[in-house]
Amino acid sequence: MSIADSRASVRKPITALAIVLLGAALAACQSSAGKGAAQGAGTGAMAGAVGGAVTALVFGGDPVEAAARSAVWGASAGAATGAIAGSQADKQAEQQTHKKTEAELAKLRDEIGDENYAGLESLADCRHDESLRAAAKGRQSNNPNYALAGLWLEILNYADSGREAKARELFPTLVKQDWNIETTAQAENKMREGVTALGNIREEYKRPRVCAT
């Protein structure tokens, strides 16, 4: 079995995850208590949205689209959780949304590993040093998906903090590890898509798009 076949055998499609996230977003947005309250979501939900982008990079897909779906879902979940008034149906929807939130975050942790999961919130909140330490641990995993997620998390941290040269130093390693990336030019494009997704997520949660230097 080739290295590419070995990696392919442990990968899982994210289509089902994207559908679940979008469905949860639409359900939550129908709540009268949750409308227009995206700011109710906290950093934890924002980290879940970043995780959507990272899983798209690892398993293949559009990180910008995945992040947008995850951000809407997370914001809606936060709005429902933060609602003070509403009907009994709203309260039931809140409970259901909370359960879906917990389930999807648990699934995200399973897909990218504990260490990388821990680094998502730090990256979303511009704490790059913390996120890089988590990414370094993730890269040491024997699970190739976890190791690749750690590599992507490291690349995004460097690119997001204005250290693109250091990010590009990792491209040759990325080409070897990521079966979806065949050239450094592809790596460059995916890195930029990831950074764009990260900025979009921060704006969705009423945060500065670019971290202060």
How do residues 34-54 score in pLDDT, each as one tens digit?
Answer: 333 334 345 667 888 898 899
How do residues 111-159 score in pLDDT, each as one tens digit?
Answer: 999 999 999 989 999 999 999 999 999 999 999 999 999 999 999 999 9
Count CB-CB contacts under 10 A for residue 142.
Answer: 6
Domain ranges of the chain: 12-204
Q: Binning pLDDT at 50, 70 and 90, where does residue 68 land?
A: confident
